[in-house]
């Protein structure tokens, strides 16, 4: 059975799928032959593989029986959970002391003295955190007792003398020498991970404390921390980094770190890992993975989006796998992902890559999937200030200028602008092969692809403030009236209402008879877009029908025939409970009526239409996003209802 996801746990095997084996082996060789004490910093951005590298170093240098080093792991992130900075520093120090001293009673007693003396502020901070952090007092007490430090330390204890930092270092050094002698090892390697996940000032505080311990004989410290974190942590001390004070920042780092090792991310070659993982999750088959042309295309997409960051690559693959699982659970065979062509899979990869790496651009595509048609109107809607020229307008390249303007306020997007443009141009190239690159087909294809990825977006939920009523009305006016003209060219006397956030149409049956329908968009309780269709069916009662019941009105052939024809359109939408089409509910009658005739009957029985035969009913179309109102089925539905309204009013004209 194929697997469906990749774990974000660090690699725990002695393999390297990213083509940097020589760098790792070189670092292992360097540490094996280093003079201790020494401190090494593993530097790299979030998700670049620092923890995986640290795991490999520990396995290579400390885990085997013949290894020359004792390994100690300290995960600073775990100690910082639900703790104050003071408690975090204390717990890290307590764990370090516990691991270095093991069962050495003298060293532990010295540590207690250190808390009593020069380091007493740490103990007080730890004790205070018991009072301020609900539910973790027991956890902290365990942390204290882990180093045999009593949680109630008397201020006047006679058996514990205050100790200085030099006393603690001496005791720790003696304990280390004892440990490596008994284990017949060369030294101790202390791996300190996740410093860059802490609040930078806390990370710097921990570094300042530990720098006095970094000089222990026979000890090698390997820290996962980036220089940028140190810079952020030192801002309270040195201010913002400038050319004038950069030396102060660098000096602090250099005094603590003797050897910086930057992960060679730019030299990563991740595509073997990517392709093998895509085969493992069933996204492509092994034969496709061996296709040089496909490999080059996939590589282009990966490099232009997630790049070479291992964590981001895993997230991309896991997202594709989730969407593939959803597709396999489709209600019809056409929903199944097995039917997707390689071009479909590549388009899906591009879309998900944009969603993960460039969410702002993904939101723009969600608003209008036909990106090659982006123009001034779209830019205005999205709040993008862009300049245009006539040449761009004629060539259809305005979208590139809008893309550039959208990226400009964001330094990261500006830096990646060429990559984003490359991905979108690749979409055009793929669709050109099947003659689907014209604006309408491109927009339809992109919308189809994006509908699949909507469930994995962080900002997928539609928000009321995102609804552009005027644009929605504009699209309805354009699409619905185009469809109406195609079906009923005889309905040629009409005028669109002024678009003020509401919309609609005036229809003339003749010079004397005019009626109107209204479109009113809003947000309903389900956070969906609710488009109200306010129709004009109103026909007054002639005097001869005054006081007649609804059943008696339906004895009139013109009324019965006209209403039945009207309901031939409305009843299928209402009685079959078409999921997006809803009628009106009245107080005391909580269910929807299965037809307009049933609603009329209810109103007449209540005595609410004593002066009329029909009313002006409201119907709602409820959808999740504005783009769904551009679907053919929705446009057809609205056009059908408007035509039915026109025919009913025309049939009832002059009824007496």
208, 285: one domain: no
575, 446: one domain: no
305, 222: one domain: no
Q: And the tokens for 354?
A: 């944009």
- Is there a domain that residue 16 lies in? no
Confidence check: pLDDT of 300 > 80: yes
Of 411, 443, 460, the residue that ends a domain is 460
Of 460, 495, 518, the residue that ends a domain is 460
Q: What is the pLDDT of residues 433-449, one digit of tens each?
A: 877 777 778 888 888 88
- Is there a domain that residue 320 lies in? yes
Listing DSSP states for 356-415 in one string gives HH-HHHHHHHHH-S-GGG--HHHHHHHT------HHHHHHT-HHHHHHHHHHTT-HHHHH
- The H or E element containing residue 578 is none
Confidence check: pLDDT of 36 > 70: yes
Its domain, for residue 633, covers: 469-651
291, 179: one domain: no
- The H or E element containing residue 196 is none
Q: What is the pLDDT of residues 470-518, one digit of tens each?
A: 889 999 999 999 999 999 999 999 999 987 778 999 999 998 889 999 9
- Which DSSP category does 522 fall into? E
Which of 382, 475, 503 lies closest to 495 in space, CA to CA?
Answer: 503
Of 460, 485, 507, the residue that ends a domain is 460
More confident residue, 542 or 318: 542
More confident residue, 64 or 118: 64
Q: How many structural domains is the chain composed of?
A: 3
User: Is the separation of the CB atoms in 353 and 323 below 8 Å?
Assistant: no
141, 47: one domain: yes
Rounded distance between C-alpha atoms, residue 527 and residue 511, angstroms: 42
Q: What is the pTM of this model?
A: 0.52
Which of 67, 362, 381 lies closest to 220 in space, CA to CA?
Answer: 67
125, 225: one domain: yes
Q: What pLDDT band is residue 127 in, cutting at 50, 70 and 90? A: very low
486, 431: one domain: no
Which of 414, 36, 45 lies closest to 227 in space, CA to CA?
Answer: 45
Q: Which residues pair with 188 in a beta bridge?
A: 70, 219
* Paired sense of beta strands 529-534 and 259-262, if any: unpaired
For 296-318, give one letter per residue: b (16+ CB within 10 A) or e: ebbebbbebbbbbbbbbbbbbbb
Rounded distance between C-alpha atoms, residue 361 and residue 351, angstroms: 10
In this structure, how many other beta carbons lie within 10 angstroms of the beta carbon of residue 242? Answer: 9
Q: What is the pLDDT of residues 58-111, one digit of tens each?
A: 888 888 888 889 888 887 777 766 566 666 666 777 777 777 776 667 666 766
414, 527: one domain: no
- Is there a domain that residue 25 lies in? no
- Is there a domain that residue 10 lies in? no
297, 352: one domain: yes
- Is there a domain that residue 561 lies in? yes
- Is there a domain that residue 27 lies in? no
For 622-642, give one letter per residue: b (16+ CB within 10 A) or e: ebebbbbbbeeebbebbbbbb
- Is there a domain that residue 172 lies in? yes
198, 52: one domain: yes
Per the prediction, the chain carries an average pLDDT of 78
Rounded distance between C-alpha atoms, residue 485 and residue 229, angstroms: 63
Q: What is the pLDDT of residue 451?
A: 75
Average pLDDT over residues 131-158: 38
Average pLDDT over residues 370-379: 86
* Residue 264 CA from chain centroid, whole number: 27
400, 478: one domain: no
241, 284: one domain: no
Confidence check: pLDDT of 423 > 70: yes
């Amino acid at each position: 059975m194929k697997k469906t996801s990749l774990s974000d746990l660090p690699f725990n095997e002695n393999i390297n799928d990213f083509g940097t084996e020589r760098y790792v082996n070189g670092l292992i060789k360097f540490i094996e032959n280093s003079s201790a004490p020494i401190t090494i910093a593993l530097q790299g951005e979030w998700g670049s593989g620092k923890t995986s590298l640290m795991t490999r170093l520990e396995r290579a240098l400390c885990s085997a029986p013949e290894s020359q080093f004792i390994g100690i792991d300290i995960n600073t992130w775990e100690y910082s959970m639900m703790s104050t900075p003071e408690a975090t520093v204390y717990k890290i120090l307590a764990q370090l002391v516990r691991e270095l001293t093991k069962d050495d009673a003298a060293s532990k007693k010295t540590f207690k003295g250190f808390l009593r003396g020069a380091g007493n502020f740490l103990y007080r901070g730890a004790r205070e955190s018991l009072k301020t952090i609900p539910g973790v007092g027991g956890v902290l007490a365990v942390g204290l007792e882990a180093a045999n430090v009593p949680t109630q330390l008397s201020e006047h204890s006679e058996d514990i003398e205050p100790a200085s930092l030099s006393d603690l270092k001496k005791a720790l050094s003696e304990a280390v020498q004892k440990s490596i002698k008994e284990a017949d090892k060369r030294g101790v390697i202390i791996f300190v991970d996740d410093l860059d996940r802490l609040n930078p000032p806390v990370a710097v505080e921990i570094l300042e404390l530990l720098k006095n311990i970094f000089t222990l004989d026979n000890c090698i410290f390997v820290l996962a921390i980036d220089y940028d974190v140190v810079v952020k942590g030192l801002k309270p001390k040195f201010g913002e980094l400038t050319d004038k004070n950069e030396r102060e920042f660098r000096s602090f780092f250099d005094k603590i770190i003797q050897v910086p090792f930057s992960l060679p991310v730019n030299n990563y070659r991740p595509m073997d890992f990517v392709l093998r993982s895509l085969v493992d999750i069933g996204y492509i088959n092994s034969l496709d993975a061996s296709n040089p042309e496909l490999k080059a295309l996939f590589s282009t997409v990966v490099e232009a989006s997630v790049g070479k960051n291992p964590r981001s690559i895993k997230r991309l693959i896991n997202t594709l796998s989730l969407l593939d699982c959803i597709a396999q659970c489709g209600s019809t065979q056409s929903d199944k992902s097995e039917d997707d062509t390689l071009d479909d899979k590549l388009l899906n990869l591009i879309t998900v890559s944009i969603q993960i790496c460039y969410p702002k651009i993904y939101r723009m595509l969600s608003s209008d999937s036909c990106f090659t048609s982006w123009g001034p109107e779209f830019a205005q809607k999205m709040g993008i200030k862009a300049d245009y020229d006539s040449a761009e307008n004629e060539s259809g390249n305005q979208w590139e200028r809008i893309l550039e303007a959208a990226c400009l306020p964001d330094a990261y997007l500006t830096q990646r602008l060429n990559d984003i443009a490359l991905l979108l141009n690749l979409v055009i190239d793929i669709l050109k092969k099947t003659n689907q690159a014209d604006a309408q087909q491109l927009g339809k294809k992109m919308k189809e692809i994006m509908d699949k990825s909507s469930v994995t977006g962080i900002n997928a939920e539609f928000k009321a403030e995102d609804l552009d009523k005027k644009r929605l009305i504009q699209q309805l006016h354009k699409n619905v009236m185009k469809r109406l003209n195609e079906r009923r060219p005889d309905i040629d006397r009409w005028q669109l209402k002024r678009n003020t956030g509401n919309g609609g149409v005036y229809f003339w049956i003749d010079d004397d008879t005019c009626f109107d329908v209204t479109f009113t968009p809003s947000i309903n309780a389900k956070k969906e877009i609710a488009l109200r269709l306010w129709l004009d069916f109103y026909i007054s009662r002639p005097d001869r029908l005054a006081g007649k019941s609804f059943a008696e009105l339906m004895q009139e052939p013109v009324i019965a025939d006209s209403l039945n024809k009207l309901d031939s359109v409305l009843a299928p939408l209402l009685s079959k409970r078409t999921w997006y089409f809803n009628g009106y509910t009245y107080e005391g009658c909580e269910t929807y009526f299965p037809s307009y005739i049933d609603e009329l009957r209810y109103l007449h029985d209540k005595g609410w239409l004593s002066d009329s035969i029909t009313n002006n009913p409201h119907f709602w179309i409820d959808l999740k996003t504005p783009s769904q109102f551009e679907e053919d089925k929705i446009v057809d539905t609205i056009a059908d209802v408007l035509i039915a309204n026109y025919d009913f009013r025309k049939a009832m004209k002059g009824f007496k």
